[in-house]
Structure 1
Amino acid sequence: MPADIPLPDADHTLAPLAAHDSLLLAVSGGPDSMALMLLAARWSLRETKRIAVATVDHGLRPEAAEEARRVGEWARALGFEHHILRWEGEKPRSRIQERARDARYRLLADCARTVGASAIVAAHHADDQAETILFRLTRGSGVAGLAGMAPASRLDGLALLRPLLGLRKQALEALCEAAGQPFFRDPSNENPAYARVRLRSLSALLAEQGLSVDALLRLSARAARAEEALVEAAAEAAAALPAMRDASTFRVAAAPMAALPRELLRRVVAAEVMRIGGAEPRLERQERACERLHEALAAGASFKTTLGGVTIALATHALTIRPEPPRRRGSPAVKKPCGADPMTKR
Structure 2
Amino acid sequence: MTRSSAPIDPASAEWLEALFFSLSSARGIVAAVSGGPDSMALMHLLALWRGSAARPPVIVATVDHGLRPEAAREAAFVAAEASRLGFPHRTLVWTGPKPGTGLQEAAREARYRLLIGCAREEGATHLVTAHTLDDQAETLLMRLSRGSGLAGLGGMRPERDRDGLRHVRPLLDCPKSMLLALCGRERWPFVEDPSNLDERFARVRWRRLMPALAAEGLTAERLAGLARRARQAEEALDAKAAEALGRARPVAGEGGLRLDAAPLAEEPFEIALRAFVQALDRAGIRPETGRLQRIEACVGRLRDALAKGEAFRATVSGALVRLDARGGLTLAPEPPRRRGRAPV
Please give the TM-score of this superposition, normalised by the length of structure 2: 0.88
Inter-CA distance 250–164: structure 2 relative to 1 (3 Å threshold): same
Inter-CA distance 325–114: structure 2 relative to 1 (3 Å threshold): closer
Would you say the 8 A contact 2:41–2:183 is kept in 1?
yes
Gaps of 5+ in 1: 330-346
Residue 31 in structure 1 maps to residue 37 in structure 2: yes
Inter-CA distance 322–6: structure 2 relative to 1 (3 Å threshold): closer
Q: 1:337 matched to which residue of 2? A: none
Q: Give runs of aligned pairs for residues 127-206 of structure 1, distance below 5 A.
A: 127-206=134-213
Q: How far apart, CA to CA, are the structure 2 residues paired with 1:254 and 1:155?
A: 31
Q: How many residues align?
A: 325
Q: In structure 1, the residue corresponding to 2:283 is in which secondary structure? A: helix
Q: 1:70, CA displacement in angstroms?
A: 0.8
Q: 1:231 matched to which residue of 2? A: 238
Q: Give runs of aligned pairs for residues 301-316 of structure 1, distance below 5 A.
A: 301-316=310-325
Would you say the 8 A contact 1:272–1:321 is kept in 2?
no
Inter-CA distance 214–251: structure 2 relative to 1 (3 Å threshold): same
Q: 2:118 is matched by which residue type in structure 1?
A: C
Q: 2:36 is matched by which residue type in structure 1?
A: G
Q: 1:208 matched to which residue of 2? A: 215
Runs (4+) of structure 1 exceeding 4 A deviation are 324-329
Residue 7 in structure 1 maps to residue 8 in structure 2: yes
Q: How far apart, CA to CA, are the structure 2 residues paired with 1:250 and 1:67?
A: 50
Q: 1:181, CA displacement in angstroms?
A: 1.2
Q: 1:62 matched to which residue of 2? A: 69
Q: 1:218 matched to which residue of 2? A: 225
Q: In structure 1, the residue corresponding to 2:8 is in which secondary structure? A: coil
Larger Cα-atom Rg: 1
Q: How far apart, CA to CA, are the structure 2 residues paired with 1:134 and 1:295?
A: 34
Q: How far apart, CA to CA, are the structure 1 residues paired with 2:323 and 2:149?
A: 26
Would you say the 8 A contact 1:28–1:68 is kept in 2?
yes
Q: How far apart, CA to CA, are the structure 1 residues paired with 2:129 and 2:183?
A: 17
Deviations 1:279-320 (A, max 9, x none): 323322211211221222233333211123332122322132
Q: 1:19 matched to which residue of 2? A: 25
Would you say the 8 A contact 1:258–1:294 is kept in 2?
yes
Q: How far apart, CA to CA, are the structure 2 residues paired with 1:84 and 1:244?
A: 46
Q: 1:120, CA displacement in angstroms?
A: 0.7
Q: For structure 1, which segment, 230-239 or 7-16, has the greater mean C-alpha deviation from structure 2 after superposition? A: 7-16
Deviations 1:151-187 (A, max 9, x none): 1111121111101111111111122112211101111
Q: 1:230, CA displacement in angstroms?
A: 1.0
Q: In structure 2, the residue corresponding to 1:83 is in which secondary structure? A: strand
Q: 1:33, CA displacement in angstroms?
A: 0.4
Deviations 1:57-79 (A, max 9, x none): 11101111011001100000011
Q: 1:272, CA displacement in angstroms?
A: 2.0
Q: 1:227, CA displacement in angstroms?
A: 0.5
Would you say the 8 A contact 2:245–2:279 is kept in 1?
no
Q: How far apart, CA to CA, are the structure 2 residues paired with 1:110 and 1:292?
A: 42
Would you say the 8 A contact 2:309–2:327 is kept in 1?
no
Deviations 1:9-43 (A, max 9, x none): 32221122111131010000000000000100111
Would you say the 8 A contact 2:244–2:263 is kept in 1?
no
Identical pairs, percent = 46
Would you say the 8 A contact 1:40–1:46 is kept in 2?
no
Q: How far apart, CA to CA, are the structure 1 residues paired with 2:121 and 2:251?
A: 42
Q: How far apart, CA to CA, are the structure 1 residues paired with 2:177 and 2:214?
A: 17
Residue 283 in structure 1 maps to residue 289 in structure 2: no
Deviations 1:56-103 (A, max 9, x none): 011101111011001100000011000011011121111111100100
Q: For structure 1, which segment, 301-310 or 256-265, has the greater mean C-alpha deviation from structure 2 after superposition? A: 301-310
Q: How far apart, CA to CA, are the structure 1 residues paired with 2:47 and 2:324?
A: 62
Q: 1:342 matched to which residue of 2? A: none
